[in-house]
Amino acid sequence: MKADEEKVLILDFGSQYNQLIARRVREIGIYCEVKPFSLSFKEIEDFNPIAVILSGGPSSVYDEKSPKIDKRVFELGVPVLGICYGAQLMAHTLGGTVVPADSLASREYGRTETEFNTNSSLFGNITSKSITWMSHGDSVKQIPEGFEPIAHSAGCPYAGFENNEKRFYAVQFHPEVSHTEKGTEILRTFLVDIAKAKANWSMVNYKQTAIDAIRAKVKDGKALLALSGGVDSSVAAALMSQAIGENLTCVFVDHGLMRKDEGDQVEQIFSSYKLNFVRVNAQELFLDKLSGVSEPEKKRKIIGEEFIRVFEQEAKKIGKVDFLVQGTIYPDVIESGLGSNAAVIKSHHNVGGLPDYVDFKEIIEPLRYLFKDEVRQLGRELGLPEYLVSRQPFPGPGLAIRIIGDITKEKLDVLREADWIFRSEIENAAVKDASQYFAVLTNTRSVGVMGDGRTYEYTLALRCVSTSDFMTATFTRIPYELLEKISHRIVNEVPHINRVVYDITAKPPATVEWE
């Protein structure tokens, strides 16, 4: 980021919605970062925000140990918006009182009809009544001097209050949550009308800023990147390549567990880029290591470890490098306001962690401040093909965890063909809300009849889920006619499958993947 660019600071008090606030602000076109509430005042000043947002959080401001804020934040001369706990904290810090909600009216949770004073600066662009999302055990009983009430609900007399002269605003509800009907408009009013943001943050501008920053850091140093063919490592590779060209080496370890044609696609794209592209064909090595292994966690471990070993061997040939590039993205690095890591990267979701034997000085993470949708957008700006940037999530261990039981080359080939038919049919039919879809080769064999003969072949399971965060998911309502067509095609076109089933389990209790 350049120092003169407009930035919003979100101070996090432990809200489960901290990332959501940041995403909304970015969607409005303004760069922002989420920082723990414990940031020192000096760091806040140095960040030089055009506005500060105080997030929600699970604590009670009247508890001695609850997270507080340096009062000088209110002397920075920039607009401040408090949300939920942030609103209570603003009231508490500036001389108001906060009490348990029960003692005042009632606790509120969920969708709540709220009335707004549309003469206020904050609510000037919305209608006087709409639904907000409330989730609070405490309420403001008395607002500080100089403040006006600007919204209320049945259970909350101060659902909104402001000191317009000082540009301090507070809302008890969560404008960042989609259930708050006018939430985005309220945030936009705060940022654009009140904080006078230009709101021109976009991946078009970001691309050049990022390239300049990488050049300034790497200079004529050498960088090494492990390319998996997934969205993040591909976008990181394309960005680094535009910044430092042939000083970048990308090692693509083909473990033979990718989907149909994916290995060749990765090679085709990146061998035409200005960079050193190395493809290691390690299919046989991985098959060998996995031979006879049917326990899911063991498969994952073997693949993770082997991946690192192969990458290290290749890196050794290159010799000392200055930088190791990682495709880490923002949700992985946001620290929670309450100290621990809000987004602990699920260990099994990493292919192997960091290599021990690669000789490098520093790690460089060019996507560190981007959300996934921004990474995809940046990929488009960098000219990567759409099928690559809009790729659905694909587990690092690949098809190995979509073959139940032991893995053989034949099973991989069967699964690749069936999976390809399923995916292309879903895409051709543009099935609504299909977030992730794939085939699973089970180890169940059953009797069937084909032509005049009896068959005894594998059962294939189809999995298609609708989800926004992959933490919870429902099965996608694929029309029966389409399921029928897919099943018919698979049984007829792919040998060794004589039965197709559709997985109709939600997550929880099931997971998205079968292993």
Catalytic positions: 84, 174, 176
Q: What is the spatial distance between Cα 388 and Cα 238, in angstroms, rounded to a whole number? A: 12
- Assess 144 for contact with ligand XMP (CB under 6 A): no
Give the one residue of 470, 477, 479, 495 binding ligand XMP; rule: CB under 6 A.
Answer: 470
CA distance to 27, 262, 469, per residue, from 473 (Å): 24, 26, 8
Angle at the Cα of 96 from the Cα atoms of 93 and 101, rounded to 5 degrees: 110
How, if at all, do strands 80-83 and 168-171 pair? parallel
Range 344-367 burial, b when 16+ CB lie within 10 A, else e: eeeebeebbeebeebebeeebbbb
Q: Give me the least distance between CB of 394 and ligand XMP, in Å please.
A: 6
Interface with ligand XMP in residues 156-215 (CB under 6 A) = none
- Assess 397 for contact with ligand XMP (CB under 6 A): yes
Q: Choose the stretch contacting ligand XMP; rule: CB under 6 A; options: 75-83, 128-136, 282-290, 505-513.
A: 505-513
Q: Give me the least distance between CB of 343 and ligand XMP, in Å please.
A: 14
How, if at all, do strands 474-475 and 453-466 pair? antiparallel
Q: Give the residue ranges of DSSP H helices in 48-121.
A: 85-93
CA-based nearest residue to 115, from 140, 143, 149, 91: 149
- Interface map 348-387 toward ligand XMP (x if CB under 6 A): xx--------------------------------------
Is the CB of residue 241 less than 8 Å from the CB of residue 215? Answer: no
Residue showing tokens 């989907």: 259
Burial class (CB in 10 A: 0-12, 13-18, 19+), 131: middle
Q: Give me the least distance between CB of 322 and ligand XMP, in Å please.
A: 27
CB nearer to ligand XMP: give 175 or 396.
396
Q: Choose the stretch contacting ligand XMP; rule: CB under 6 A; options: 173-181, 184-192, 378-386, 507-515.
A: 507-515
Applying CB under 6 A, what is the total number of residues that bind ligand XMP?
Answer: 13
Q: What is the spatial distance between Cα 281 and Cα 480, in angstroms, rounded to a whole number? A: 40
- Interface map 325-354 toward ligand XMP (x if CB under 6 A): -----------------------xx-----
Q: What is the spatial distance between Cα 391 and Cα 382, in angstroms, rounded to a whole number? A: 16
Q: Give me the least distance between CB of 167 and ligand XMP, in Å please.
A: 42
Q: Choose the stretch contacting ligand XMP; rule: CB under 6 A; options: 124-132, 395-403, 420-428, 445-453.
A: 395-403
Interface with ligand XMP in residues 428-447 (CB under 6 A) = 436
CA distance to 262, 425, 437, 470, 486, per residue, from 434 (Å): 21, 12, 7, 12, 15
Q: Give me the least distance between CB of 95 and ligand XMP, in Å please.
A: 47
CB nearer to ligand XMP: give 106 or 472.
472
CB nearer to ligand XMP: give 141 or 391.
391
Say which DSSP state 73 is in.
G
The 3-state DSSP class for residue 500 equals strand
Tokens of 124: 């000037």
Q: What is the spatial distance between Cα 263 and Cα 230, in angstroms, rounded to a whole number? A: 11
Q: Give me the least distance between CB of 301 and ligand XMP, in Å please.
A: 10
CA-based nearest residue to 190, from 70, 38, 87: 87
Q: Choose the stretch contacting ligand XMP; rule: CB under 6 A; options: 179-187, 389-397, 474-482, 484-492.
A: 389-397
CB nearer to ligand XMP: give 170 or 367.
367
Instruction: Count CA atoms within 13 Å of residue 492 on its CB side.
Output: 6
Burial class (CB in 10 A: 0-12, 13-18, 19+), 292: exposed
Q: Choose the stretch contacting ligand XMP; rule: CB under 6 A; options: 127-135, 419-427, 477-485, 506-514.
A: 506-514
Q: Give me the least distance between CB of 281 and ligand XMP, in Å please.
A: 22
Tokens of 54: 């105080």
CB nearer to ligand XMP: give 256 or 337.
256
- Assess 511 for contact with ligand XMP (CB under 6 A): yes
- Assess 398 for contact with ligand XMP (CB under 6 A): no
Give the one residue of 203, 396, 476, 478 binding ligand XMP; rule: CB under 6 A.
Answer: 396
CB nearer to ligand XMP: give 462 or 512.
512
- Assess 300 for contact with ligand XMP (CB under 6 A): yes
| Sites of contact with ligand XMP (CB under 6 A) | 300, 348-349, 393, 395-397, 436, 470, 507, 511-513
